[in-house]
Every structure is written in C-alpha cells, then in structure tokens.
Structure 1
C-alpha cells in the first residue's frame, strides 16, 4: 500500500502523518514498483554457444585492430614529432627496487 492509498482509505489529511507511521511501523520502500524492478532480458541471453563464440571472436578481432591502430599512432608520434608516449621499462632499476624491499 502506498502512502497516498493510505491517505485516501483512512481519511488522513497530512502526508507527514502517514510517513511518520510508515517509518515506525511499515515498510519504507513504497516508491519502487516490483514489476518495473526486474531487468529486461538481454538479447545475448538466448545465444547458443556457437553464436556466443562467434560474437566473442569478432569482439577479439575488433580489439586487436584497435590495439594495432593505437600502436601505429604512437609509432608515428614517436617518429615524426619526437614524442615518447610509451612507458619506459628499466630492468636494472626494477631489480634494485626488489633488492631494497627484501
């Protein structure tokens, strides 16, 4: 029962009266509709394993192409503009850091 229904059924004029009563005695979650709270089924839920594999392989190929493109852009920036965007890994410093932690 919503607070508006309680007001009309029992003839209560003030909204705060109903809200106070609900805080003390009732369930406060009257705003959500249980019918609306269920998530709609995704179109992927009805996929067969073969369809899922095909979709995942396509997504993997797209990510590989994206990675290739971004690496190529970074290479061009390095060559033409002298910008170094790649993370520099220095093995000696890494080993020294590990020794200090021991």
Structure 2
C-alpha cells in the first residue's frame, strides 16, 4: 500500500566510530591530506566538534601550550607546503596583474573622455602648469 521511505541521514554517536577509524582521520588531518571539513564530507561525520574532540584527544598538537608536540616537518611536507604557497602567490600575481591592466585601461578611457569634453565644450579641464611654475611659487612663499 503505502511505501515508507527511509532518509539517508543516520544519527551517529561517538560509540559508532572505531578507535582505528578515529586515529586514521586524525592522522590524515594532521598530515595535511584532509581538512576537518573535507574529512566530515568524505567519511560522513556529522559534527565539526566531533573531529575537534578527536584531534584534541588523539592528535599530536599540544592544546594547552598551543604548539605541535611532534618532530619537525619532513622534507616532503616542507616541499608540499612551499608548492602550495607558490600556487597561491601565482594566483595572487595573476589577479593583481589583471587589476593593473584594468586600471590602465580605465586611465586611458578617462583621458579620452576628458579630451572629448575639452573639445566638445571648448573649455580647459586639465590644469596646465609646468614644474618650473610650481617650484617658483614655493620659493616666493618662503621669502614672505
């Protein structure tokens, strides 16, 4: 008669996760393979606080002193971090180059608009003073 549809959402508790699963998730997060959010999505963990509890309980980070308690990073980890930093800097450089190009185009467009307005209305819009005039004005002010 009437079909009962079951939702795919299943409420879990801490007891549903095995110790090995918790340790594997913590290790993947600490190694930089996953972020806490991506671990939640990948493994179907329902709360962000759950992962934070695991990190505090089973991780190598010293939460009281706010320092990592493990050994220094390996060469591979340093290389991966530097490569990620290079990619980020390349993205930022491309964005800034785009902004500079856009600003240059705007400046050219504004110059053209001023030229057109000066021509159409026959009025000087730009201030036309030479550097000598401005320096001589400064000297006159000092004498007075």
TM-score range, shorter chain: 0.3 to 0.5
TM-score after normalising by structure 1: 0.47
Greater RCO, 1 or 2 (C-alpha within 8 Å, sep 6+): 1
TM-score after normalising by structure 2: 0.35
The structure that is helix-richer by fraction is 1
